[in-house]
A and B are shown apart, each in its own frame.
Chain A
Amino acid sequence: MPEIARSEYLEELATLEASALGGLDLVNTALARTMEAVENQDVELAQVVIADDDRIDGRYLEVHQSLITLLATQSPVATDLRLISALLHVLKSIERMGDQCVNVCKVIPLTGNYAPVDARMVDLIVRMGGHTRTLILQAKRAFEERDVEMARDLVRRDDAVDELNRECFHLALEIGDDADRREWAMTMLLSARAIERVGDNAVDIGEQVAFVVTGLFREFEDASHPA
């Protein structure tokens, strides 16, 4: 059987995959800076993260358009079609992750120039950020290696992030009656919630890994019907 490799098309698809997954590196950097800004109440660094989100959005738009062009011109089917469909989902997740970092950075000026009301809360959020960065890197590697087990393991790691988020909530409940302290705690809870969502987005990417490999799309965990 003569081999007619569609080399240009396949190279372009591989390049687009690398470019889309490279968006996760951008998010990882944004999240690292966000955590540093939270820890040090660094408003200027927060502004850098906000400004840099344009790079993540730009990557999203650029790769999205190129994937649509491939769909229109190359009629991809089977694994190629599943890969393109998955990458469109992954891009959306990446764009959302970038926006969540922006959300955290936007509230940093609101937390004031004084020392944190409760250092434990900041510590919890920074730990959440650390776990979530691991999730992002693992999601990327699972996609690159088409490793469904590694993708499923994201759920376990995400549980740790969710647990820290719950601890933030309980800490906020104990913060006391003072209006300023409560406002600070509420603001920090918004940040914790944003980081928790970034973890969920990483799990979503893991679900797309399973779809590419198996052809079946299933949520690893159903939030409305937890096991």
Chain B
Amino acid sequence: MLGAATKRSAAEEGKPEMSKRPAGVTSTEPVTKAGRGAKTIEARDVDLFYGDFHAVEGVTMTIAPNKVTALIGSSGCGKTTFLRSLNRMHELTPGARVDGHVSLDGEDIYGKGVDPVEVRRLIGMVFQQPNPFPTMSIYDNVAAGLNLNSRRIPKSRKDSVVERSLRGAHLWEEVKDRLDKPGSGLSGGQQQRLCIARAIAVEPEVLLMDEPCSALDPLATLAIEDLIAELKNRYTIVIVTHNMQQAARASDVTAFFNLDATGKPGHLVEVGATNEIFTNPTQKQTEDYVSGRFG
């Protein structure tokens, strides 16, 4: 699917899991409800650099399909950088470099000959600030990804994808009578749902969300969280959030990143079931962070 991908399994690499938790409480637990297209992401020994700056060190974790995985940690701990490495957006920054392996259902997304644009179609991204194309209509915003990814799509099919995507993003009822109006005329929460509709229009398998609610009011935030809970039935979802309560409410698995000191690389401290992380974390650093002892 990703072209000339090289498969590297954990067994072939012969490297241990980073998780110190007992089996059954990590993100690797079996998926009971198979999603239509959701896939597993495996990150193994991932190191990320901006030029000479070592931003993230040695991250190994499995991101399970049909679950919401939250990445938490203080500013500068590398969680957003790590998120951006999962769909090859990190390398868009000049001088940025990725070491290690990231695979989607076993296929190396950094493999030789793999098209990064195809990777980003399969692994979509929703950003912190809602960023609809300001001059485009609501309809065209949703259809934008289709136009980029396919050469020619019949209007009727495009109509149905736009409607399905807007329904999937819980926005259809609010905008169905003004699809030709600019997306920038919507409220912040609506704009973010429009961006989610745009992301799911191209039928990805994974959705990455970088603080998707940080610019929204509490009601719009809860609407997005409800949407995330529904979207996980179809996609693998990874969300970066500074809002600890959001991680607790909206995610199934939580991964805590930290760094030992400013200028040092961020690393994964602990990953586990969200209810464990917020009631009985195994690492003191995690306990101190989720309890608000530092941050």
Q: Which residues of A contact B (CB under 8 A)?
A: 1-6, 9, 75-82, 215
A82 adjacent to B258 (CB under 8 Å): no
Is B244 part of the contact surface with A, judged by Cβ < 8 Å? yes
Residues of A close to B287: CB separation below 8 A: 78-79
Tell me which of A2, A75, A82 contacts B279 (CB under 8 A): A82
A80 adjacent to B291 (CB under 8 Å): yes
A selection of 17 A-B contacts at a CB cut-off of 8 Å is A1-B294, A2-B294, A3-B293, A4-B294, A6-B292, A6-B293, A77-B244, A77-B278, A78-B278, A78-B286, A78-B287, A78-B291, A79-B287, A80-B291, A81-B278, A81-B279, A215-B280
Residues of A close to B281: CB separation below 8 A: 78
A75 adjacent to B293 (CB under 8 Å): no
Residues of B close to A1: CB separation below 8 A: 74, 258-261, 294
Dominant secondary structure of chain B at its interface with chain A? mixed
A3 adjacent to B294 (CB under 8 Å): yes
Residues of A close to B294: CB separation below 8 A: 1-4
Whole-angstrom distance from the CB of A117 to the nearest CB of chain B? 53
Residues of A close to B260: CB separation below 8 A: 1
Given contacts A77-B244, A78-B287, A79-B287, contact A4 B279 (CB under 8 A): no
Q: Cα distance A82–B258 when bound, in Å?
A: 24
Q: Cα distance A224–B282 when bound, in Å?
A: 33
Given contacts A1-B258, A1-B261, A215-B279, contact A78 B74 (CB under 8 A): no
Is B295 part of the contact surface with A, judged by Cβ < 8 Å? yes
Whole-angstrom distance from the CB of A211 to the nearest CB of chain B? 10
Q: Cα distance A9–B258 when bound, in Å?
A: 24
By beta carbon, the residue of chain B nearest A214 is B280
By beta carbon, the residue of chain B nearest A85 is B279
Whole-angstrom distance from the CB of B146 to the nearest CB of chain A? 42
Residues of A close to B74: CB separation below 8 A: 1
Q: Cα distance A1–B76 when bound, in Å?
A: 10
Whole-angstrom distance from the CB of B189 to the nearest CB of chain A? 23
Q: Mark B269-295, 1 if CB is under 8 A from A, else 0.
A: 000000000111100001100111111
Whole-angstrom distance from the CB of A2 to the nearest CB of chain B? 6
Is B248 part of the contact surface with A, judged by Cβ < 8 Å? yes
- Give the residue among B74, B290, B291, B293 with the most A Cβ atoms within 10 A: B291
A75 adjacent to B280 (CB under 8 Å): no
Q: Cα distance A107–B89 when bound, in Å?
A: 78
Residues of A close to B292: CB separation below 8 A: 4, 6, 9
Q: Cα distance A80–B287 when bound, in Å?
A: 9
- Give the residue among A1, A76, A215 with the most B Cβ atoms within 10 A: A1
Given contacts A1-B258, A1-B261, contact A78 B290 (CB under 8 A): yes
A4 adjacent to B293 (CB under 8 Å): yes
Is B149 part of the contact surface with A, judged by Cβ < 8 Å? no
Q: Cα distance A5–B294 when bound, in Å?
A: 7
Residues of B close to A79: CB separation below 8 A: 287, 291
Q: Cα distance A75–B279 when bound, in Å?
A: 12
Whole-angstrom distance from the CB of A40 to the nearest CB of chain B? 49
By beta carbon, the residue of chain B nearest A6 is B292
Is B245 part of the contact surface with A, judged by Cβ < 8 Å? yes
Whole-angstrom distance from the CB of B164 to the nearest CB of chain A? 37
Whole-angstrom distance from the CB of B261 to the nearest CB of chain A? 7
Residues of B close to A5: CB separation below 8 A: 293
Interface positions of B from 226 to 266, Cβ below 8 Å from A: 244-245, 248, 258-261
Known contacts A77-B244, A78-B279, then 11 further A-B pairs from the complex at CB < 8 Å, ordered by chain A residue = A1-B260, A2-B294, A3-B294, A75-B244, A75-B245, A77-B290, A78-B291, A79-B291, A81-B278, A82-B279, A215-B280
Residues of B close to A82: CB separation below 8 A: 279-280
B295 adjacent to A77 (CB under 8 Å): no
By beta carbon, the residue of chain A nearest B74 is A1
By beta carbon, the residue of chain B nearest A80 is B291
Residues of B close to A9: CB separation below 8 A: 292
